[in-house]
Amino acid sequence: MENRWNPAEAAQYHTDLDLRVYSSRLLGQDPSLVLHGGGNTSVKVTETNIVGESEEILYVKGSGWDLATIEAAGFAPVRMAHLLKLAKLDRLSDPQMVNELKTQMTNASAPSPSVETILHAILPYKYVDHTHADAVVTVTNTANGGERIREIYGDRLVIIPYVMPGFDLARLCAEKFTAEAGPQTVGMVLMNHGIFSFGATAQESYDRMIELVAMAETYLAQQGAIQPLTPGTVSRGDSRQDLAQLRYDLAQTAGFPVILATHTTPKTLAFAQRPDLAQISQQGPATPDHVIRTKRLPLLGRDVASYATQYQAYFQTHAQPGLTMLDPAPRVILDPEWGLCTVGKSVGAAAIVADIYDHTMDVISQGTALGGYQALPAADLFAVEYWDLEQAKLRKGGKPPEFTGEIALVTGAASGIGKACAAALLKKGAAVVGLDIDPAIVGLFDGPNFCGIPCDVTDEGAITIAIEKAVRQFGGVDMVVLNAGIFPPSRAIAHLDLDHWRKVMAINLDANLTLLRELYPCLKLAPQGGRVVVIGSKNVPAPGPGVAAYSAAKAALTQLMRVAALEWGGDGIRINAVHPNGVFDTGIWTEEVLQARAEHYGLTVADYKTNNLLKVEVTSAAVADLAIALCTPLFACTTGAQIPIDGGNERVI
């Protein structure tokens, strides 16, 4: 356990609240302490209000903020006097508590205070830090966890048995604290949940947290709980079809398209191949904080339907009348061949599940080595999963972008129309796989929603590898934009050699046959139906002299699209073409080339660019918007169609 306190850095922070920000971020930087919005911190300060009165204020972490990146604005200021009165009530429902916390803030635009606010208020220390430290959670999630905690910490910590976060937990802590705390007390352990540390200064509280967690880590090491990894067996099979099928089953069960991310590493394989997996993985999560994200249990193997049946039974056993069941799809899947797979409504959600379960595997393995990992009973976990405060949070989330949970593949995505298509798809929430021969494709877009793969589309083997990679990362391919192509220099048929012809055909036509054939199994399993858009050309309906190979390739590609529409309609796959013309904002059209072409026709550059019936400039972005619109429900009843996007052309009309 690393103590990250840096005196030089800390010296830059001056007020009590600023130092609270600093040490909160230090806690947030260590994933073995808190993950994704877990944990919370506070500081008590005296302030003078607008009418000149002195008030004690608790600044406590606001909901929606992550400790790793929190700022002063992420802390909610709540009046201590009222919090201490609330703590004396016999009972207070969760919605009442939320209302009281909100209405006692001194800044109306601050975020909602943490549900653990009253708990922070009753602890008589200036700084209070709370984490879900892996090592502490591991020790408490065992049959005799309480005894072990006592053995490690003696009377330095007050031990609180598990109670769901909220008013009842704060009340219990207040009682136990009054009875048991003394000058030796530096913290508090919440069984099956986490740990608190306190101090008069930000550094004292932080140092104690690090020291206390390090003691649990040392204990685990001494007990032989931290064991070397036995690497799992790797099978290097082609998983595209099986993963796409699994994702289809998950989406059917969930009722919405999902991202299925595969994390095949020596660690996940070792865990998923453990002979005792069925026993140790089916206890429950390490801390209730995780149950919302990971669901109570992982799916072992690939039978989503029976998982859903078991989830329904679990819901019916514990639910109060009137409660609506959440979707019954698993979020964590353990598979001996793939290791860990995680499921989410978005790439980000699946990644959070992966981070959480990466730590859960350690907690379970170490707890097992300690004599038996033991999570909370199902009823307690159910109470958290269906906690009305969490339900309200879920309902509050606005409508996600249209293609959230869907996956698109774009060829020739590093520039021009392909890049514009990738950008438009990302904007609509899709996970995007971009293929391009240009290695710059790898870093073309930031963020986890984009996967750039360098790929020569004329190489069948490279295409297979790229699709396998895409499906392992996101779970399938739902939409395809066939854009990669070349526009060769003008050449009359009288001088057209077969090498030139074949090269154009290989890229502009043959590669697309390979892509369609190899992507078909995925498109067939797209939860909302597969969609393909072919970037054709005005040259299909209206060819020009000197471009025989290009025009013939695009015409053949259009015919391939029409046959695919006939063959795949029964699979719910829609395939359509757009025929752009005069798209000048791409790499090949430099200012010089434009100038030369315009002069050739006796036009200015501006007139040349808008040389169409509508006198409009056709941009890459406009072509991309049309291509992406073809993937939306607006065109749900359209397949095999060809749509010009050329500003209006007499020969096409």
Q: Look at strands 194-199 and 127-131 and give their pairing.
A: antiparallel
Q: Are 200 and 237 in contact (CB under 8 A)?
A: no
Q: Render 18-50 in DSSP notation, one character per residue.
A: HHHHHHHHHHHT-TTT--TT--EEEEEEEEE-T
Nearer to Zn ion, 40 or 473 (CB): 40
Q: From the DSSP assignment, how many helices (H) and strands (E) are in the chain?
A: 25, 18
In the set 153, 307, 373, 550, the catalytic residue is 550
Least distance to Zn ion from the beta carbon of 110, Å? 20
Copy the structure tokens of residue 498.
Answer: 């077969």
Nearer to Zn ion, 62 or 194 (CB): 194
Q: How many CB atoms lie within 10 A of CB 316?
A: 9
Nearer to Zn ion, 172 or 616 (CB): 172
Copy the structure tokens of residue 299.
Answer: 């799916």
Task: Give CA–CA dist 532/577, Å, rounded.
Answer: 8
Nearer to Zn ion, 194 or 412 (CB): 194
**By CB under 5 A, which span of 3-11, 186-194, 463-471, 478-486 interacts with Zn ion?**
186-194
Q: Look at strands 479-482 and 531-535 and give their pairing.
A: parallel
Q: Could you tell me what percentage of the chain is helix, strand and coil, using 3-state DSSP and rounding each to the nearest 5?
A: 45, 15, 40
Q: Render 477-507 in DSSP notation, one character per residue.
A: --EEEE-----PPPB-GGG--HHHHHHHHII
Nearer to Zn ion, 158 or 482 (CB): 158
Which residues in 364-406 belong to E strands, given as ranges?
none
Helix, strand or coil for residue 462?
Answer: helix
Using CB under 5 A as the binding rule, the residues of this chain from 516 to 535 that contact Zn ion are: none
Least distance to Zn ion from the beta carbon of 84, Å? 21
Q: Burial-class residue 362 by CB neighbours within 10 Å (0-12, 13-18, 19+).
A: buried
Task: Give CA–CA dist 542/536, Å, rounded.
Answer: 12
Nearer to Zn ion, 37 or 543 (CB): 37
Least distance to Zn ion from the beta carbon of 193, Å? 6
Least distance to Zn ion from the beta carbon of 66, Å? 14
Using CB under 5 A as the binding rule, the residues of this chain from 221 to 240 that contact Zn ion are: none
For 251, list phi and psi in degrees, rounded to 5: -65, -40
Least distance to Zn ion from the beta carbon of 85, Å? 24
Least distance to Zn ion from the beta carbon of 286, Å? 12
Least distance to Zn ion from the beta carbon of 190, Å? 7
What x/- string results for residues 187 through 216 when contact with Zn ion is judged by CB under 5 A? -------x----------------------
Which residues in 200-331 belong to E strands, given as ranges?
259-263, 299-300
Nearer to Zn ion, 173 or 254 (CB): 173
Task: Give CA–CA dist 520/573, Å, rounded.
Answer: 9
Task: Give CA–CA dist 439/448, Å, rounded.
Answer: 18
Task: Give CA–CA dist 110/103, Å, rounded.
Answer: 11
Q: Which single residue brings its beta carbon nearest to Zn ion? A: 194
Collect all residues with Cβ–Cβ distance below 8 Å to 54 and sequence separation of at least 6: 46, 47, 48
Task: Give CA–CA dist 351/331, Å, rounded.
Answer: 11
Please say if 311 is a catalytic residue. Answer: no
Least distance to Zn ion from the beta carbon of 566, Å? 58
Q: If binding means CB under 5 A, how many residues of this protein chain bind Zn ion?
A: 1
Copy the structure tokens of residue 597.
Answer: 């072409």
Nearer to Zn ion, 205 or 558 (CB): 205
User: Which residues are catalytically annotated?
Assistant: 550
Question: Could you list the residues that contact Zn ion (CB under 5 A)?
Answer: 194
